Amino acid sequence: MLRLRPILNAGRLQRGYASAAGPHALVLLEHRAGVIESGSLSALTAAQQLGGQVTGLVVGAPDEVKGVVEKAKKLKGLNTVLHSASEQYAHTIPEVVSPLLEKLLSDSSPYTHVVSAHSSAAKSILPRVAARLDLPAVSDITSLEHDGSATTFTRPIYAGNAIATVRAPESVRVKFFTVRSTAFKASAADEGAQAEDKAVEPVEVANPPTRHVRTDLTKSDRPDLGSASRVVSGGRALKNAETFKSTLEPLADVLGAAIGASRAAVDAGYADNSLQVGQTGKVVAPELYMAIGISGAIQHLAGMKDSKMIVAINKDPEAPIFQVADVGLVADLYEAVPELVEKLKQQA
Amino acid sequence: MRPSAVRLLNILVPVKRTVDYAVKIRVNPDQKGVDLNVKHSMNPFDEIAVEEAVRLREKLKDEVKSIKVVTIGPPKAAETLRTALAIGADSGIHIEIPESAPAPEPLGVAKALRAIIEREKDGVDLVIMGKQAIDDDAGQTGQMLAGLMDWAQATFASKLVVDPKSKEAEVTREVDGGLQELKCRLPLVVTTDLRLNEPRYASLPNIMKAKKKPIQKITPADLGVDLKPILETIKVTEPPKRVGGGKVENVDQLIAKLKEAGITPVKS
């Protein structure tokens, strides 16, 4: 083992000279029901800021991949779209997808960065692949700067109460990072763009240790919480699932907003856990965030304090949420919210 | 005895000592880190991991042979191990690093855990660990460990059912937009989400008993791992301060403020 090391390092150095051509990012393009996830579009924007080539990667079941590739090719900023289709890739199980990524990122690969959204799927896959290649990873970045060989990132730590600036030095052959989507604009489609597409043979995994049983997604006609421009969020003060619904839905309707929830509301069963906003839930940064009956614990603020305008309605004038709210109303939400809905409707 | 021995589960639970979740942290003026002279406790996700291991034993009885907890940290991290032992783990391993050492990165931690697993004579069938530490918020170690071991992984678990006979586990995971169910072969790395369980408080008798449980101390060098960070932390700064905009008297004023910001109702 010890003897091998110098040889491996020598290989690394040589490649360093050979690939001085500039950064080349591989962006994981996640998709659901034929649509590229907005988080991946933000990751693409982050990848472009590296200032080099950008290759997208679409992995999935054969019946999905073709349509997604067509859409991906029209994305601004993508030079190449790689795609790999296999029945095995239908649910992006990390144990099954990792070998494909490991192959793409082998010693002779041109990629200097691997970029993805900070989504639940990518969070599961990227660190696994990075470790197998003996590389570190950087999670949930909010900005980046590339200077030719090293990349410097900023990322929130301690639930967003501090910002760390970290540098992945030249010695890190491939820099893995996930992107906080609210910190980067989604890359748009451009009719003029036409990236080249290349198929990649899937790497079949015989007898994988993990099998997908099923996925239950919460169905909703509302905008997606992670990318909505307006969010109406409820906390423990909403009492139960019925009042949570009956109070917040009319307001969300009249504002065209997504619905979110505090951990307290989710734990108490008022709302589905996919609606949780905070350090352990979704991070949102909409134009408008309305916190209804939410006290504003550190962990909740971590998920929404980058919103452009924060409005709080709370009975308790001492609630910490008022320290970050642009507009605070100390009132009983059961009176204030229906009145707000009525008056907004009159304006519509 | 022999034939059944293969079905016994050995569980490893890595835990981390972090700044208590309720502490409002302060960034040091030298921008090198945050003030750590504050209350520390076990990372909340790790508490859930220890609880889950103990519940598995309560459910499976003798089929769980051992629950070992392991931590990497300065001398004080031993307190965190004692807490885990008081919740119900059997023994602890403390990979001790100097107080002044930089915080190890997930890759280094994962390599140390791999070395620990490889040292275990009876092997490890199940690693249960938090989905992220609330200090660095990286959320990588479990996946990295699974990758290094080439094991199955189930991240963000909200439900875990282990069948020691078939050496399989059914795991429900919290994913974007809903829930996902997986069936995983052991050995397996599970990372815990908040909703997996409600950790118990250690009772006084159990805290006393925990003092007698063995903790083995080792160094990273004993394991042949280097915990030196690869990424350079250039600085740690305060996030931009948000200034509260003050309060309004009534709903009409609230609507006026919304209008000022260009937020109007949508036509239905």
Domain limits, chain A: 24-199, 230-347
d(CA A180, CA B137): 13
Q: What is the chain A residue with the closest CA to B245?
A: A326
Q: B68-127 pLDDT, tens per residue?
A: 999 999 999 999 999 999 999 999 999 999 999 999 999 999 999 999 999 999 999 999
In a domain, B262, yes or no: no
pTM (2 d.p.):
0.91
Question: Residue B209 in contact with residue B195, Cβ under 8 Å?
Answer: no
Question: Residue B142 in contact with residue A125, Cβ under 8 Å?
Answer: no
Lowest mean pLDDT among A10-14, B215-219, B222-226: A10-14
Residue B268 or B202, more confident: B202
In a domain, B1, yes or no: no
Lowest mean pLDDT among A8-17, A221-230, B202-211, B248-257: A8-17
Q: Band of the pLDDT at B5, cuts 50, 70, 90?
A: very low
For residue A260, what are the contacts with CB-CB under 8 A and spacing of at least 6? A225, A231, A232, A233, A234, A275, A276, A277, A282, A284, A289, A304
Quote the distance between the C-alpha of residue B56 and its chain's center. 17
* Burial (CB count within 10 angstroms: exposed 0-12, middle 13-18, buried 19+), residue A200: middle
Question: Residue B116 in contact with residue B12, Cβ under 8 Å?
Answer: yes
In a domain, B103, yes or no: yes
Q: Which of A118, A182, A327, A335 to mutate to test the interface with B (most CBs of B within 10 A)?
A: A327
Whether B153 sits inside 8 A of A162 (CB atoms) is: no
Q: What is the pLDDT of residue A217?
A: 87
Mean pLDDT value across residues B248-259: 95
CATH number for position B105: 3.40.50.620
A334 token code pair: 């059961």
B215 token code pair: 């903790």
Q: What is the pLDDT of residue A193?
A: 85
Nearest to B246 among A139, A171, A328 (CB): A328
B208/chain A closest Cα distance in angstroms: 32
Mean pLDDT of chain A: 92
Mean pLDDT value across residues B219-238: 97
For residue A273, what are the contacts with CB-CB under 8 A and spacing of at least 6? A266, A281, B158, B174, B195
Torsional sign, CA A133, A5, A150, B27: positive
Q: Which of A114, A161, A167, A178 to mutate to test the interface with B (most CBs of B within 10 A)?
A: A161
Nearest to A120 among B138, B156, B252 (CB): B156
Chain B hits for A317, Cβ within 8 Å: 247
Q: What is the pLDDT of residue A220?
A: 78
**Which 8-state DSSP code applies to residue A63?**
H
In a domain, B232, yes or no: yes
Q: Band of the pLDDT at A305, cuts 50, 70, 90?
A: very high
Q: A214-272 pLDDT, tens per residue?
A: 999 877 788 889 889 999 999 999 999 999 999 999 999 999 999 999 999 999 999 98
Whether B194 sits inside 8 A of A171 (CB atoms) is: no
Q: Which CATH number fits domain A24-199: 1.10.10.60, 1.10.150.20, 3.40.50.620, 3.40.640.10?
A: 3.40.50.620
Question: Residue A309 in contact with residue A283, Cβ under 8 Å?
Answer: no
Check for a shared fold between A24-199 and A230-347.
yes
Q: Band of the pLDDT at B18, cuts 50, 70, 90?
A: very high
d(CA A324, CA A154): 22
User: Cis omega (within 30 of 0) on the bond before A99?
Assistant: no
Mean pLDDT value across residues A291-313: 95
Identify which of B44, B123, B50 has the alpha carbon closest to the alpha carbon of residue B90: B50
In a 13 Å sphere around the CA of A13, the CA atoms on its Cβ side amount to 6
Chain A hits for B24, Cβ within 8 Å: 161, 298
Q: How many domains does chain B have?
A: 1
d(CA B168, CA A228): 39
Nearest to A325 among B173, B245, B264 (CB): B245
Longest dimension (CA), chain B: 77
Q: Residue B99's domain spans which residues?
A: 9-237
Q: What is the chain B residue with the closest CA to A346?
A: B265
Q: Where are the alpha helices (DSSP H) in chain B?
A: 2-5, 44-60, 77-87, 106-119, 141-149, 204-210, 220-223, 251-260
CATH no., domain A230-347? 3.40.50.1220
